[in-house]
Amino acid sequence: MTNIKLPNMTSNTTPIDLNAYKRFLDGEVEKHASDTKINNGTSIVNAVNVGSYSFSWGKIVEQLSGEFFIWKFQISTLAKKTHGERIYFQEQIFNYLQSKHPEHSSEHAILVAGLHDKCIFLGIKEDAFIIASPMQHEYKNRIWVHMHILNKDIPEILSYINNTQQ
C-alpha cells in the first residue's frame, strides 16, 4: 500500500492515536480474534474477526463478512453506560452521522454498501456505530474513515458524550 501523509489531527490527538491512525490506513491490525456473528440490518451473518486498532478513546474492531470489511467503532466511555444509556447514545451517534453523511447511512448496511462504496449503520451491543466497505473499495474507504470519521466525527462524538447528562 502507498504511504500517505496524515492530515492535521485535532489538538488532543495522542501518540497512541497517531500510531493507530497509521496502522488503520495500512490495515495492520494489533490483535487477532475469532469468528463471530453480526446483524447486517436484515439477518445474522457470519464474520471473521481480523483484529482491532486501539485508540485513546476506544478501538475499531475489523471483521470480514463475505465480500465486505466491517469496522465496528467501540467507544470506551459508552461501555461504562447502562444498557439504556448506551442505546440512547448509539441512536444519537447514528443520527449525527446520518446527518453528516446521508449518502453513506442506512439501517440496511450490507445492502447499501453493496450498491455504493460504503455504509454507516447503527451500532449494536458495545459498538457505537459500524461501517461496511466492499473489499474492492477497502483502501479508499480507510482513507475516507480516517479523514472524516476519525479526524472530524470522533472528536465531536466524544465531546457530545462527555457533555451530555441523560
Distances in whole angstroms, Cα of residue 144 to Cα of each of 34, 48, 104, 129: 27, 23, 11, 16
Within a domain: 9: no
Predicted confidence band of residue 165 (pLDDT cuts 50, 70, 90): low
**26: which 3 cell numbers?**
495500512
**Locus of grid cell 465531546:** 159
Predicted confidence band of residue 6 (pLDDT cuts 50, 70, 90): very low
pLDDT digits (tens, 9 = 90+) for 61-101: 988 888 888 899 999 888 888 889 989 999 999 889 988 98
What letter represents residue 141's amino acid? N
The pLDDT value given to residue 44 = 42
| Domain range enclosing 27 | 15-163
State pTM to two decimals: 0.76
The pLDDT value given to residue 47 = 65
Looking at the predicted structure, is the pLDDT value of residue 40 above 60? no
Give the C-alpha separation, 49 to 61, whole Å. Answer: 7
The pLDDT value given to residue 16 = 58
Predicted confidence band of residue 46 (pLDDT cuts 50, 70, 90): low
What's the domain count of the chain? 1
Predicted confidence band of residue 153 (pLDDT cuts 50, 70, 90): very high
Within a domain: 102: yes
The string over 75-94, giving b where at least 16 C-beta atoms fall within 10 Å of a residue's C-beta and e elsewhere, is: bbebeebeeeebeebbebbb
pLDDT digits (tens, 9 = 90+) for 110-151: 555 455 678 788 888 889 999 888 888 888 888 999 999 998
Within a domain: 8: no
- Give the torsion through C-alpha atoms of 151, 23, 144, 45, to 10 deg: -120
Cα end-to-end span (Å), the chain: 44
Give the C-alpha separation, 78 to 48, whole Å. Answer: 24
